[in-house]
Every structure is written in C-alpha cells, then in structure tokens.
Chain A
Amino acid sequence: MKKIFYLLSMVMLFAVACDKDNTNNEEQIKAPTALEYASVTIADHNAIVIKPEDIAPNAPVVVVATKDLELKTRAAEQLDVNFKAAEHCLIGNYILCIVEVGNDADASFLAEVKNSFSSATKAYLLSYRNEYAYTAAMQIPDTFNAYGCVSATMNATTYAANNFTKPVSFVHVHATENSLYKWYGVEPNYVAVPLCVGALVAINECTHYTTGELLPRDGMGLVSYTKYLGGKDGHEVVLYSVDGANEGWCDAEFEVYNQIWNFFKNH
C-alpha cells in the first residue's frame, strides 16, 4: 500500500514539476532582442535609426541631434559595443534616431524628423553637444513631449533674437569643467548654464525647487541635481551638474541615460 502511495506521489510530483516547467517556458522573456540599425535621410539630414528589432510600431522615439560625426559613424558601423546611448533603447524600449545637425539657427526641420515617426505615441528631443534642444524649445515648443540637452548651452545670438513662448519640460546635463560650453557662459557665444535653465524655469512658471546628490562612483565627481517644480501644466526643469567632468555624456559619472529617459517618460 505504502509503495502505491509512494508511486502515486512521485507521479503527482512529476506532473507538477512538468506543469511548472511549462509555465516557466511561457513566462520566460523572449531571447535578447538585437538592435536594428538603418541609415536614412530625413528632412535632408543624415540620420541613423536604431531600434530593438521587435519593438512595437507605436513605441516612443528619442531624437538625438548631434554634430558629432564620430558618434554617428560609430553607430552606423555598429562597431562600438560600448555605445551605451544606443544600447539604452533596449532597456527603455524606444526608438532612437540620431540626426546630424549643422550650425543653422533654425531648428524647425526637427519637426519633420519627429513627423517621420508618425506612429510614435510620444517623441522627445535630446541635443548632444549642441544647442538645438534649446533652439527647438523656443521655435517648436509643441513638437516634442520633452526636451533635453547634454553638454551644451544656448547660442547667445539665437537667445538674443528669440524668446521662449510656451512652457516645455526640459532636462539639462552639464559638467562644471566643460571647457567649450563653460558653466558661466562664453562671451559672446554661449549662455551660462544657470541662465539657460533660469529662462526655462521662468517660462514654465516654476515656483520652487528641490536639490539632491547621486551616490558618487569611485573616483568620479559628484553629481548633483536641481529639480524646478510647480510649473504650469506640470512642466518642470531638471539640471544635473557633474563636478569636474568635461564634455561628453558624463556616463562614467552616473546613469545618465536612465536619468534622462526617466525624465522623458514622465512627460
């Protein structure tokens, strides 16, 4: 009798185990998704579109405006596995469009770039080492859900000739030792970082701010942030300042892509 019970129990346990295995198979995340790269021309500008190969058609798009040809080439040739900005679209599950920009003070073509992703439910603009996010925030404030700028400030001539007219949510990442776009501005070319941010805080009608620091990585400078809150229609401005670093993404100092993406997806 005991033997029968034992055998029955074993059979049941086996059945449960098999069932569990099946369930696991169903729940298992699909095989790691690869990135698709495509070189395209949008609004007469060279661009690279990078996306997870099985991404939903209505996934959000992050347009990165860059003058950095090296970066673009690296993306195009799919050579650099350490190109973290591209890899992050796997984590965030968004489409990344790196578009080459020049020195034109007109950012309106970025609306065409955005419109080329007509299925995207949300679109964000990030300018890397150039002022296009600020120019676009002035000229096409309704086009993107949020704007961001890494390692650049406003062009002084553009600022003198244009006004911010509508609130925009904006994130700015800047190293205090940036030698080209200096923190306190460069006469007569570039506006000081606190004054760029202050102009957005003013147009957003933010009322107050909070400050904080991120846990420093070994040997890296302190990363602190100021979040300007209470703005019209929930618009806010966030400034990350990275002590001691120079130009670049500041991705050695902190999870810059995560921080920017977290800001974007909240708007």
Chain B
Amino acid sequence: MKKFIFILSALFVCYAASAGSLKTETIEDQGVTRSYYVYLPTDLPADAPLVFILHGYGGSANAYVNNSSLTFKQLAEEYKVALCYPQATTDPRPNTGWNVYYPWQIDKMKIDDCEFICNLAKHLHTKYNLSAKNTFLTGMSNGGEMCYLMAYRKASEFGAIASMAGLTLTEMAKRHDYTTPVAFMEVHGTGDMTSRWEGDPTNQYGWGAYLAVPVAVGAVAAANKCMYQETTVLPKIKNQVIFHRYYGSPYGKEVHFYEVRNGGHNWATDSFDSCRVIMEFFKSNMR
C-alpha cells in the first residue's frame, strides 16, 4: 500500500512539475501561416516573462516540445515564465530552417524570420498579457545562429539572448553591426564537428563561411564593452565545462561563454544543467 501511495505521489509530482497548458496556434505573418506552441505554466502571473526556444536546421518545434532532455517546461513552472516554440518554414534546400544567410538561402528565401519572431512576440504579449520588457530568446544550432542575427538586428527586443552551438556567419557580420548592447550567452562544444569551434573562414564545410566561436563571442563582448573576465571550471559531469564570464560593461550587459571541452553539437545537457543555466541567465537580466 505504501508503495502504491509512493508511486501515486511521484506521478503527481511529475504531473505537477509540468501541469501547465500547451497550445498549438498559428499566426499570419508576411503572407505565410506560421505555427508555434505556447506553454503557459500554472498560476502564471500577469506581465510574466516570455522565452522563445528555436529549433535547429531540419528540426521542428514539435520535437523540441517533446524532447525530455530539454527541461524548459519544468523550469517554466518553477520560474513562472511562458514558453514559445515557433516552427521555421521550409527553405530552398528544402529543409525546415531559419533564414540566417546560409548560401542557399541568400537572395532566395524571402521570409524575414527576425521580423517574424518580433511580430509573434508582440502578438503573445497582448494575447497572454506577457512582459514585452522581459522577453528572451534561446535556440540551438540554426536556432543559435538566429540568436546572433537577432543580437545584430533586434537586440532591443530582448532582455537577454542565449545561443546553443550557434554561429556568426560572416554574411551576418558583413551586413550588420552590433548597435545595441545585449546580454548574451553562448554554449559551445570544442569538439562540435557541425558548427566548428575554430570557424570555417573559407566555407569548406558548406554552411557558409563563419567566424571562429571565440571570435564571434568576443565581438559581442566588445560591442557590450565588457572589461573584466572571470573564468571558472565547473564540476565535471561528462565533458569538462569552462565558464568565461565577461562583465563590467558600462551598459550592464554581460556575456557568458560556456566552453564545453570536447563537447559535440548539442545542448550539452549531459555535461551541465544548461537549460537551468539559461533560465538563470534570463532571470538575472529581468528588466
């Protein structure tokens, strides 16, 4: 009987941990019907923060919503934030992907995904009474590239931005400058064979030329005028994680850089609690 009560309690705790409501919705944007998921935790207060989570190239919002290693829904209950998982359109290759100036997207993909995310944010702020000031963005791989592009183009729309295994394509750097300081995080594996740590200045691997990851992160730190650095070795779980904190920005915008030694192309959840670290970063940048 005790066992039965224990199992029931455990099930209840699991259910309560993510007992908010998950909705599938659509919005018209730039002449296209775009779909997305919204997760609203229980007892969400008015003017609650909103966090966007962007999937990778060829991926889907649905896969992210159901990915058990991404603990954002449980964390949304704890931190009382709304989540939005938007779906990318199909690009010219054709694969689902955000328009971040991959070679096959330039001049062929008409959708402006930066505009889309900003329009969707405004829609959700109104519809669910969410905080425009405290809207945050994270994404992995192609979604991480969107994080850099948004930092270039729409930094003022976000309290903070966190890229996972994201890149700065040189095309982004050619077209845009960082004009608005923004709190920024990058988590990247030094052994990432898809989005290479050392960069790809000659487009050897086909994603378009892109900056070395430390150079890309350094550019954001320079734009924020971060002046001081702390480097901490986190307790080792799987891959060793080195945390570089760039701070002292006159704008109050820090840059956090998690270097996952020998880490691959993923959220690095097996090496540290990356989803919680992102949520804490967003919390520390509430306005």
- Chain A contacts for B191, CB-based, 8 A: none
- Chain B contacts for A150, CB-based, 8 A: none
- For A181-216 the 0/1 string (1 means CB < 8 A from B) is 000111110011011001101110111110000000
- Chain A contacts for B250, CB-based, 8 A: 160
Contact B230 A209 (CB under 8 A): no
Q: Is B55 an interface residue (CB 8 A)?
A: no
CB distance from A153 to the nearest CB of B (A): 9
Contact A192 B227 (CB under 8 A): yes
Contact B218 A208 (CB under 8 A): no
Contact A209 B214 (CB under 8 A): yes
- For B241-261 the 0/1 string (1 means CB < 8 A from A) is 000001010100000000000
Contact B246 A195 (CB under 8 A): yes
Q: Is A59 an interface residue (CB 8 A)?
A: no
* Residue in B closest to A229 when the chains form the complex, CB atoms: B201
Q: Is B114 an interface residue (CB 8 A)?
A: no
Q: Is B198 an interface residue (CB 8 A)?
A: yes
Q: Is B118 an interface residue (CB 8 A)?
A: no
Q: Is B226 an interface residue (CB 8 A)?
A: yes
- Chain B contacts for A248, CB-based, 8 A: none
Do A230 and B201 form a contact, CB below 8 Å, given A160-B250, A208-B212? yes
What's the Cα separation between A199 and B246 when bound, in Å? 12
Contact A160 B225 (CB under 8 A): yes
Contact B212 A209 (CB under 8 A): yes
Contact A185 B214 (CB under 8 A): no
* Residue in B closest to A188 when the chains form the complex, CB atoms: B248
Contact A156 B215 (CB under 8 A): no
Contact A208 B221 (CB under 8 A): no
- Chain A contacts for B246, CB-based, 8 A: 192, 195
What's the Cα separation between A185 and B225 when bound, in Å? 13
Contact B211 A156 (CB under 8 A): no
Contact A185 B248 (CB under 8 A): yes
What's the Cα separation between A207 and B211 when bound, in Å? 5
* Residue in B closest to A190 when the chains form the complex, CB atoms: B227
* Residue in A closest to B248 when the chains form the complex, CB atoms: A187
What's the Cα separation between A152 and B155 when bound, in Å? 33
| 8 Å CB interface, A168-189 against B | 184-188
Contact A195 B215 (CB under 8 A): no
Do A207 and B222 form a contact, CB below 8 Å, given A156-B248, A192-B228? no
| 8 Å CB interface, B217-233 against A | 218-219, 221-223, 225-231
- Chain A contacts for B225, CB-based, 8 A: 159-160, 199
Q: Is A144 an interface residue (CB 8 A)?
A: no
- Chain B contacts for A194, CB-based, 8 A: 218, 229
Contact B229 A184 (CB under 8 A): yes
Contact B230 A198 (CB under 8 A): no
Contact A202 B230 (CB under 8 A): no
- Chain B contacts for A206, CB-based, 8 A: 215
What's the Cα separation between A205 and B219 when bound, in Å? 9
What's the Cα separation between A224 and B54 when bound, in Å? 38
What's the Cα separation between A194 and B211 when bound, in Å? 17
CB distance from B285 to the nearest CB of A (A): 20
Contact B215 A184 (CB under 8 A): no
- Chain A contacts for B223, CB-based, 8 A: 202
What's the Cα separation between A199 and B221 when bound, in Å? 8
- For A1-16 the 0/1 string (1 means CB < 8 A from B) is 0000000000000000
- Which of B222, B228, B229, B248 contacts A199, CB < 8 Å? B222
What's the Cα separation between A29 and B218 when bound, in Å? 49
- Chain B contacts for A94, CB-based, 8 A: none
Q: Is A228 an interface residue (CB 8 A)?
A: yes
- For A94-134 the 0/1 string (1 means CB < 8 A from B) is 00000000000000000000000000000000000000000
- Chain B contacts for A156, CB-based, 8 A: 227, 248
Contact A228 B229 (CB under 8 A): no
CB distance from A103 to the nearest CB of B (A): 19
Q: Is B75 an interface residue (CB 8 A)?
A: no
Contact B229 A207 (CB under 8 A): no
Contact A195 B226 (CB under 8 A): yes
| 8 Å CB interface, B188-205 against A | 198-199, 201
**Can you give 25 contacting A-B residue pairs, CB < 8 Å?**
A156-B248, A184-B229, A185-B248, A186-B228, A187-B228, A191-B227, A192-B229, A194-B229, A195-B227, A198-B219, A201-B218, A201-B219, A201-B222, A202-B219, A202-B222, A202-B223, A203-B222, A207-B201, A207-B209, A208-B201, A208-B215, A209-B212, A209-B215, A228-B215, A229-B201
Using a CB–CB cutoff of 8 Å, the interface residues on chain B facing chain A are: 170, 173, 198-199, 201, 209, 211-212, 214-215, 218-219, 221-223, 225-231, 246, 248, 250
Using a CB–CB cutoff of 8 Å, the interface residues on chain A facing chain B are: 156, 159-160, 184-188, 191-192, 194-195, 198-199, 201-203, 205-209, 228-230
- Taking A160-B227, A184-B230, A188-B248 as known contacts, 16 extra A-B pairs with beta carbons closer than 8 A to each other, sorted by chain A number, are A185-B229, A186-B228, A187-B248, A192-B229, A195-B218, A195-B228, A195-B229, A198-B222, A199-B222, A205-B173, A206-B215, A207-B209, A208-B198, A209-B198, A228-B215, A229-B201
